[in-house]
């Protein structure tokens, strides 16, 4: 009897260690950890999914829903949410100064990672991403809830936006014109990068030029994840980016089409590898529309041209 109890305790400790050890970084939590800590009042879970009706029909129990294009972005001008609005939103979600915020979402956590980037800009502490996101939670048949939890308002206070995490057109242009040592990572598909297409299949073309920023290297975001949607181990990620000349010795800017998939890579580079990285949310829909900027267009596609 006693022996079996000791065994059980040892097994629990081992599982906990393995559960933690399996994560590539302490900015990530496993589905297993989250399930065990759902009842912890210090843990606040927030879903950021892009597809409508996904949260409502079943979410991680106790999670709050953030809608990225109205909650985390300014709905009128092209910008991230204002400090005041985000503070209100987080307080309504029950986030306190000492809370651990766990973000997750559909489509491989793209928008959850975007949320993590926005929260980081406003200095929110202890922000984690659920490794593998919604897809892994569902695949493991973990509990889903359709009830919307009403949280006791929290007291989190945000800092002013930190410009160091956000790249602007001038930063990208400086790199393109070799006036800075910043390296660029384009995380779009090779066909977008090479200018064969201006936008991914089925997505409206919002830029009127094809190609990429001169000097950028192409590492599609999907190369950073394993088959189950979790991030690859740190050593593998390090090798992946080092092979393209991104080794952390110089500052980096990540970009994609509108800045959301590149947040995913931003998260990997900053939170797992600890590199100095800015995300460029203007991305190709700003750069590819800018007048007079240099572009590398390998395929030579001309917008509306024959």
Long-range contact set of residues 55-58: C-beta below 8 Å, sequence gap at least 24: 56/146, 57/146, 58/144, 58/145, 58/146
| Shortest separation between residue 60's beta carbon and other proteins, angstroms | 14
Q: Is 274 a catalytic residue?
A: no
Instruction: Give the 3-state secondary structure of residue 158.
Output: coil
| Shortest separation between residue 23's beta carbon and other proteins, angstroms | 25
Angle in degrees, CA 104, 110, 112, rounded to 5: 30
| Shortest separation between residue 150's beta carbon and other proteins, angstroms | 6
Long-range contact set of residues 142-147: C-beta below 8 Å, sequence gap at least 24: 142/31, 142/35, 142/60, 143/35, 143/61, 144/58, 144/59, 144/60, 144/61, 145/58, 145/59, 145/60, 145/61, 145/62, 145/63, 146/56, 146/57, 146/58, 146/59, 147/61
- Closest to other proteins by CB, 52 vs 292, is 52
- Closest to other proteins by CB, 146 vs 162, is 146
> Which residues make up the interface to other proteins (CB under 8 A)?
51-57, 67, 70, 106, 138, 146-148, 150, 202
- Closest to other proteins by CB, 93 vs 252, is 93
| Shortest separation between residue 90's beta carbon and other proteins, angstroms | 18
- Closest to other proteins by CB, 59 vs 271, is 59
Nearby residues of 57 by Cβ (< 8 Å), 6 or more positions away:
146
Which one of 27, 46, 48, 256 is the catalytic residue? 256
Active site residues: 256
């Amino acid at each position: 009897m006693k022996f079996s109890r000791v065994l059980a305790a040892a097994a629990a400790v081992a599982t906990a260690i393995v559960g933690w050890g399996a994560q590539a970084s302490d900015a990530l939590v496993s589905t297993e950890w989250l399930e065990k800590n759902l009842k912890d009042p210090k843990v606040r879970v927030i879903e950021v999914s892009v597809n409508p009706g996904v949260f409502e029909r079943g979410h991680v129990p106790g999670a709050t829903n953030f809608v990225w294009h109205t909650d985390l972005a300014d709905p009128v001008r092209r910008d991230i949410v204002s400090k005041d609005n985000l503070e209100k939103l987080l307080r309504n979600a029950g986030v306190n100064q000492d809370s651990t915020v766990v973000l997750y979402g559909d489509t491989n956590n793209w928008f959850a990672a975007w949320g993590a980037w926005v929260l980081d800009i406003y200095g929110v502490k202890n922000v984690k991403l659920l490794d593998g996101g919604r897809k892994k939670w569902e695949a493991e048949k973990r509990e889903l809830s359709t009830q919307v939890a009403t949280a006791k308002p929290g007291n989190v206070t945000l800092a002013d936006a930190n410009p160091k995490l956000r790249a602007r057109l001038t930063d990208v242009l400086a790199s393109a014109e070799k006036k800075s040592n910043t390296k660029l990572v384009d995380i779009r598909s090779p066909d977008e990068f090479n200018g064969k297409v201006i936008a991914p299949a089925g997505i409206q073309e919002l830029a009127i030029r094809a190609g990429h920023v001169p000097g950028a290297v192409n590492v599609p975001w999907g190369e950073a994840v394993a088959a189950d949607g979790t991030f690859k181990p740190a050593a593998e990620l390090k090798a992946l980016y080092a092979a393209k000349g991104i080794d952390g010795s110089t500052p980096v800017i990540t970009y994609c089409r509108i800045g959301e998939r590149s947040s995913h890579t931003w998260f990997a580079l900053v939170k797992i590898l600890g590199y100095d990285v800015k995300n460029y949310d203007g991305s190709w829909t700003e750069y590819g529309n800018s007048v007079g900027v240099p572009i590398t267009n390998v395929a030579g596609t001309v917008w509306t041209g024959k």
